[in-house]
């Protein structure tokens, strides 16, 4: 199935892109995808990376065809 991955901030810098269309196996779980991409791009501080599916913070663990996953860096407040 195809998923759209969007990268922001330091994650976009690490991947060298802001968007990627990825073909993955059916029934892939969200955090398996996260681990896969973190290893692929050697993203620093993986625990701080937040994922948002289809612009919704309430993410399901199983992804479906056409989902959009945003990889968000940690945000600093002030």
Q: What is the CATH number of the domain that holds 17?
A: 3.10.20.30
Phi, psi dihedral angles at 35 (to 5 degrees)? -60, -40
Whole domain around residue 50: which residue ranges? 2-72
Task: With 0.85 as the threshold, say if the pTM is over it.
Answer: yes
pLDDT band at residue 61, thresholds of 50, 70 and 90? confident
CB-neighbour burial class of residue 33 (10 A; exposed 0-12, middle 13-18, buried 19+) = buried
User: What digits encode the pLDDT tens for the residues 1-43?
Assistant: 999 999 999 999 999 999 999 999 998 999 899 999 999 999 9
Cα angle vertex 76, ends 72, 78, to 5°?
150
User: Is 6 contained in some domain?
Assistant: yes
Would you state the pLDDT for residue 77? 61
Tell me the pLDDT band of 58, cut-offs 50, 70 and 90: confident
- Give the DSSP letter string of 15-42: HT-SEEEEE--TT-BHHHHHHHHHHHHT
pLDDT of residue 19: 98
Extract the tokens encoding 16. 């060298």
The count of domains in the chain is 1
């Amino acid at each position: 199935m195809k998923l759209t991955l969007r990268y922001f901030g330091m994650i976009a810098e690490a991947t060298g892109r802001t968007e990627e269309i990825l073909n993955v196996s059916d029934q892939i779980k969200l955090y398996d995808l996260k681990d896969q991409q973190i290893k692929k791009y050697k993203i620093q501080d993986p625990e701080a990376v937040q994922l948002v599916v289809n612009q919704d913070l309430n993410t399901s663990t199983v992804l479906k065809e056409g989902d959009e996953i945003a990889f968000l860096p940690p945000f600093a407040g002030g």
